[in-house]
Amino acid sequence: MGKALIIGCGGVASVAIHKCCQNSEAFEEICIASRTKEKCDALKEKLEGTTKTRISTAKVDANKVDELVALIERFKPDVVLNLALPYQDLTIMDACLKTKVHYVDTANYEPEDTAKFEYKWQWAYREKFKKAGICALLGSGFDPGVTGVFTAYALKHHFDEINYIDILDCNGGDHGYPFATNFNPEINIREVSANGSYWEDGHWVETKPMEIKREYDFDGVGKKDMYLLHHEEIESLALNVPGIKRIRFFMTFGQSYLTHLKCLENVGMTSIKPILFEGKEIVPLQFLKAVLPDPASLGPRTVGKTNIGCIFRGKKDGKEKTYYLYNVCDHQECYKEVGSQAISYTTGVPAMIGAMLVMNGTWTKPGVYNIEEFDPDPFMEALNKWGLPWKENFHPVLVD
Ligand code: NDP
């Protein structure tokens, strides 16, 4: 039993909050705090009466450490679950340090003006968190998140050594728009328009955006084109998986999405450099976000499934072994259950589970940790219980 302060009230937070309310045995009380308090109040109103979890709301600017500290001191949570944007990670971690409260997030810090996400800023907090006796769990979404848990599970139960990991993120959903993003458009477009990279033989290999393309036949979805991207969990897995030789991350994109993205890039709409427009400074990508469909509005219209997982290759008892762990999630089933599409669902459920395990002491150790550094078994069990059951295949088709 405990109290969680949830920061942010967007697509992912909405699912995590629904799940906390389903899990009121663990989440006795939650406070939903965000920049726009009306969204928090609307969600509280929707959920009250359906749950034993007590819900309060607050307005907070998570860029301001003092505001966060005041809120934490007032609410006295056991854990802070950061579901705002990656730009707020460090201020929220600072506030947790000042108040000695555990911290959980789903995305690593990214400075607003450089579009380069790396763990170095958050890993720099290790000693401070250790000294304060509190735990920071980094990256408790699906990818990063479940992909790290899958890796720890594969290593614990199926391999003596993992040499190759391919993380495959497939969204077979169709929302009917020519162009829309399934989570925060600004974060999504920054991620996919950046150079790709993968880890091989102890160093990064950089690629042009969308340079490496493969086709894969996904269980529950069918054949899709997928493209190699840089992704944050590669950075921590490269350090935490002994004997690793290569880690790659692939995400599927439809032709319509790619054509629109190319055009938007070509005309300068994805730039994060501010420009002057009618005497006012605007960031083209933020303006684009304002005209695109809100990802939260895609729920009712998205049909199809997601399939996200990891293919492992390595050795067990001196023999070569392959193993594929993945989850298939249906957009419409998610929508019926919590009013959101599967991308928010597959992130919000692991966020709730991570917060629960840190809050109830199962995963608490002082310091800053990536998710694969904990015992995966309680998380794997919780995935099956809370809506993201996993499947395994011992003879998967490999990606060349
Ligand atoms: P949304 O844009 O839907 O929601 C973000 C929320 O944060 C909004 O409620 C927004 O408030 C709030 N917010 C933004 N800035 C501030 C601030 N300064 N102070 C307080 N609140 C603020 O994003 P998503 O729900 O799609 O994504 C949430 C997080 O999840 C992101 O960090 C994203 O990178 C991560 N993510 C992780 C994935 C994974 O698998 N690991 C997958 C998908 C997303 P307002 O309503 O006022 O705009």
Q: Tell me, letter by letter, the H, E, C secondary structure of 136-199.
A: EEECCECCCEHHHHHHHHHHHHCCCEEEEEEEEEEECCECCCCCCCCCCHHHHHHHHCCCEEEE
Task: Note the residue count of the chain.
Answer: 400
84 in contact with ligand 1, CB cutoff 6 A: yes
Report how far residue 160's alpha carbon sits from residue 76's, in angstroms, rounded to the nearest whole number.
43
Read off the pLDDT of each residue in 311-327 and give the average, rounded to a whole number.
Answer: 98
Q: How far is the CA of 84 from the centre of ligand 1 (A)?
A: 4
Q: Name the class of domain 146-338+389-393.
A: alpha beta
CA dihedral defined by 59, 63, 66, 71, rounded to 10 degrees?
30
**Hey, which of 34, 138, 150 would you mutate to test ligand 1's pocket, going by the most ligand atoms within 8 Å of its Cβ?**
34
**DSSP letter string, 84-95:** S-GGGHHHHHHH
Predicted confidence band of residue 93 (pLDDT cuts 50, 70, 90): very high
387 in contact with ligand 1, CB cutoff 6 A: no
- Structure-model confidence comparison of residues 117 and 219, the more confident one: 219
Q: How far is the CA of 111 from the centre of ligand 1 (A)?
A: 15
Residues of the chain with CATH 3.30.360.10: 146-338+389-393
- Residue 114: its pLDDT value, please? 67
- 2-138: what fold? Rossmann fold (3.40.50)
Could you report the per-residue pLDDT of 140-192, keeping only the tens digit for each?
A: 999 999 999 999 999 999 999 999 999 999 999 999 999 998 888 888 888 88
Residues of the chain with CATH 3.40.50.720: 2-138
8 in contact with ligand 1, CB cutoff 6 A: yes
Write down the mean pLDDT value for the chain: 95
> 56-65, 136-145, 247-256 — which is least confidently predicted?
247-256
107 in contact with ligand 1, CB cutoff 6 A: yes
Residue with tokens 């359906």: 50
